[in-house]
Amino acid sequence: GQFPNVGRGHHLVAMASVNKLLLSLLVVLLGTSVLCIEDLAETIDDPPKAALGLELMEEKMDNLQFSFMELFVHVKELGELFTNNQRTIEQNQLETNHLMNVLEDRLAANVSLITSYSKKILDYQTICANHDEIRKELSAMKSHPRGRLTAKTKSAPAIKSCQEANSPTSGIFKMAGINGGDSFDVFL
């Protein structure tokens, strides 16, 4: 898996303690067997007792072998349990990592959307603010007519050429039409 060392420390510690337990049991059983062998040495001279001692020894050895088999099965079960627990932890870690990646992707998408919406809102606010300024200027122009066009056109005499205007400022002047035709406005 992705995390091969997860749980191995616990697994090794548990295996070491099981090994110590097995070793101490082996020492006890061997000690008991040695004592039985010493008792057996005394009875070897007597054949009926020797046969009985041998049967007792075989029975104890069978019990010892059975105990070792039970311990072997128990150690095997513990090993499988530790392996299954490690696999479960690794699987949970992989699922957690996947969920975190999905959440990060969704969060990034949401931040991107919020940024996009914020930019649109700011753009709309700028547009609305510009429209408000234009409306204010138009309103101000409506309420304060300049009157310059009407004043110049009514009071200014019609000129025949641009040189005749001889004005220091530019503005709208009435120019007389050719051969006495209708006059029209010009900007000079």
pLDDT in tens for each of the 188 residues of the chain?
Answer: 444 554 555 556 666 676 677 777 767 766 666 555 555 555 555 666 667 778 888 998 999 999 999 999 999 999 999 999 999 999 999 999 999 999 999 999 999 999 999 999 988 888 887 877 888 888 888 877 655 444 444 455 677 777 777 777 777 778 777 776 777 777 76
Q: Answer yes or no: are the C-beta atoms of 173 and 156 closer than 8 Å.
A: yes
Least Cα distance to 21 among 70, 81, 80 occurs for: 70
Q: How much is the pTM?
A: 0.38
Structural domain boundaries in the chain:
8-137, 147-187
> Which helix (DSSP H) or strand (DSSP E) does residue 184 occupy?
strand 184-187
Confidence (pLDDT) at 150: 46
Q: Answer yes or no: are the C-beta atoms of 10 and 82 closer than 8 Å.
A: yes
**CA–CA dist 35, 109 (Å, integer):** 78
